[in-house]
Structure 1
Amino acid sequence: MTETEHCSSSLSLSKMSKKRVLIVGGTGYLGQHLLQSFSEDSDPKSPLALGFTHHSSPPPQPLLDAIPQAIPFHVDLRTGGGLDAISHAFGQPDVVINCAALSVPRVCEMDPEAAMSINVPTSLVRWLSSFKESNTLLIHLSTDQVYEGTKSFYKEEDETVPVNVYGKSKVEAEHYVSANCRNFAILRSSIIYGPQTISPVPKSLPIQWMDGVLAKGEALDFFHDEFRCPVFVKDLIAVIQILTNRWISESKQMQLLLNVGGPDRVSRVQMAEAVAHVKGYSTSLIKPVSASSVDRGVKSPSDISMDITKLIRTIGISPTPYMDGVRLTLELKATL
């Protein structure tokens, strides 16, 4: 579909009663998976209008070909450039899912100004505030790196004391969203893992990377003292879809803060061992080392495992155990 055809189709959408979902950062890892899931699961009786923003231009053709009904918009989140075009061609979204971020901690450390200007969604929130009706739900992706990392199983009410610029920018974003949005859900995600996207993302994916290095039969160092609760991407998508459907069907005020991790607290060593177990590699290739022995150019929290009791109670899902998620990821990789 050409850009002109996209615009004409979006203009017709504004005259219909379709509920509109806008994915900010739709060409990233989570963004692409969300677009695919929303397009596949859309109810024929009440289909959703899908839009997404992208910063790199043009958006990847495989994504446009796979989900032709999703309307792309080029947006610069630093300045807000491009957001007005969404107002005219797509209309006010019912739900905005903000996946866009400068998320590599070392890059954030090197350019704090960029981290703050991209990760704190000031232009996005101001744009939403420009609509007369304040009936848009903002689902904002945050991170487990808002926590200091000095204990296990952080709860949402625990103090946020980030140790790096990335975490600080995300804490600032949480404060900004909660202070300026009437309806929001802030999701503190751990490491997201799962199958590759329709248009492969440039960054290395954790399970696929571990599989690749272990397949070579060469020994490699992994941290034994850095703990996370990795979340299977399909679980995170399920959380977002449940919140979206709840908002669309009920329209009750929503102000949520949730830890979104998997049920298992694992070290990098344990993450790699699971991959080795599923693929039959020798675990002797996995050499445990301390995270303090490596200079990554940025401070990394030691243990930011999260308590997900509130998530399970609020959303009603049982997140996928890590070993099962690894198996599903590698099985899906094998079928691609």
Structure 2
Amino acid sequence: MCEKRVLIVGGTGYLGQHLLQSFTEIQQRSPYTLAFTHHTNPPPQQLIRAIPHALPFQVDLRTGHGLHAVTQTLGQPDVVVNCAALSVPRACEMDPAAAMSINIPTALIKWLSSFSGKNTLLIHLSTDQVYEGTKPFYKEEDETVPVNVYGKSKVAAEQFVYANCSNFAILRSSIIYGPQTISPVPKSLPIQWMDSALSKGEPLDFFHDEFRCPVYVKDLVTVIRTLTDRWIAEGKQMQLLLNVGGPDRVSRVQMAEAVAHARNYNMSLITPVSAASVDRGVKSPTDISMDITKLIQTLHISPISYAKGVRLTLDAESSS
């Protein structure tokens, strides 16, 4: 069997690094040629050393500059996983043009359409912030009414994928949490931040009225790996939209309480406040918890509970 080519777009980000690590671990059993794109140059040396067989390419997703080099070296990928995004809502609010140009994969899909061979499977990461946030447990067919620029850019990206791709899976992810990456990412990770803040023994405010379904990063990796393996094994085109969250609808208070419980911190340090009492410079949806029935039925994957994911994350931090 010829080697299958997998390209991780945004491979130096949080999810991207976890994907690279996972694909590297199974290379002995599954013959993949693995490549990834990065925006800053050079890519993190810690990551390069850990995954020496993965091919790095510097790519500007706004212009597509660098994708020609991918064609020359890798050829047409069998699977492209697009993890790249401007994903900080406040940053998107401050620079809507950048959010739209980065988050809508115009150059990437134009590049994919330049190949005349068998269709590439595009696995595109979207977000729970496409939903308005006025009710619990959104389903995939519910109307998308985003309340901020980030959500609007991701809805526009989904529409662009639908209009210009024939073989894709769009994954609407909730907050992604889990262990730190091989090369630590600069952004604050939710569980690690709560653990660090609560360990100082000082009272902290958390929202009691903002709800999400956080997903453990390795469950999201399993979803992506399953879709990749299915396409490579069966070759059946798909046009799939899935909510990818954890099974638990939790408030920010409940997220912090799970960390405090796992670490035996004083619960009284957690002060419930209303999200409406804080100006974050960007409107945030109140309840974008998601129904993941379709995910479970389609891929036969049941994400782990938030409490278990927190314990696994903290155990990984303790052993690193």
TM-score range, shorter chain: over 0.9
Shift of 1:42: 2.5
Q: Quick one: distance in 1 between partners of 2:199 and 2:28?
A: 42
Where 1:238 maps in the other structure, the secondary structure is helix
Does 1:75 pair with 2:64? no
Matches within 5 A, 1:130-279: 130-279=114-263
- Alignment correspondent of 1:23: 8
Contact 1:192/1:231 (8 A) holds in 2: yes
1: CA distance between counterparts of 2:118 and 2:55?
23
SS of residue in 2 equivalent to 1:288: strand
Determine helix, strand or coil for the equivalent of 2:60.
coil
Q: Measure the CA separation in 1 of the matches of 2:189 and 2:150.
A: 19
Matches within 5 A, 1:307-322: 307-322=291-306
What number of residue pairs does the alignment pair up? 320
SS in 2 for 1:130: coil
1:324 aligns with 2:308: yes
SS of equivalent to 2:36: strand
For residue 295 of structure 1, what is the aligned residue in structure 2?
A: 279
Q: Residues 52 and 72 of structure 1 are in contact (CA less than 8 Å); yes or no, is this contact kept in structure 2?
A: yes
Q: Secondary structure at the match of 1:241?
A: helix
How far apart, CA to CA, are the structure 2 residues paired with 1:42 and 1:144? 32
5+ residue gaps, structure 2, are none
Q: Are 1:50 and 2:34 matched, yes or no? A: yes
Q: Distance in 2 between matches of 1:110 and 1:254?
A: 36
1:7 aligned residue: none
- In structure 1, stretches of 5+ residues that fail to align are 1-15
TM-score (normalizing by structure 2): 0.99
Q: Give the superposition deviation at 1:253.
A: 1.1
Contact 1:77 1:118 in 2 (8 A): yes
Deviation of residue 17 (structure 1)? 2.2
Q: In the TM superposition, what whole-angstrom CA distance separates every residue of 1:173-193 from its partner, at most 9, and x where no partner exists? A: 000001101100000000000
State the Cα deviation string for residues 25-49 of structure 1 (Å, max 9, x = none). 00000000000000102243x4100
CA–CA separation in structure 2 for the residues paired with 1:242 and 1:157: 23
Query: How much does 1:125 deviate?
Result: 0.2
Listed one character per residue, the Cα deviations across residues 114-153 of structure 1 (whole Å, up to 9, x for unaligned) are: 0000000000000000001241000000000000000000
1:281 and 2:265 are equivalent in the alignment: yes
Work out whether residues 134 and 182 of structure 1, in 8 Å CA contact, stay in contact via their aligned partners in 2. no
- TM-score with structure 1 setting the length: 0.94
Asked if 2 retains the 8 angstrom alpha-carbon contact of 1:115 and 1:165, the reply is yes
CA RMSD of aligned residues (A): 0.8
**Is the CA contact (8 Å cut-off) linking 1:125 and 1:180 kept in structure 2?**
yes
Sequence identity percentage: 77
SS at match of 2:12: coil
Asked if 2 retains the 8 angstrom alpha-carbon contact of 1:109 and 1:164, the reply is yes
Aligned structure 1 segments of 4 or more residues deviating by more than 3 angstroms: none
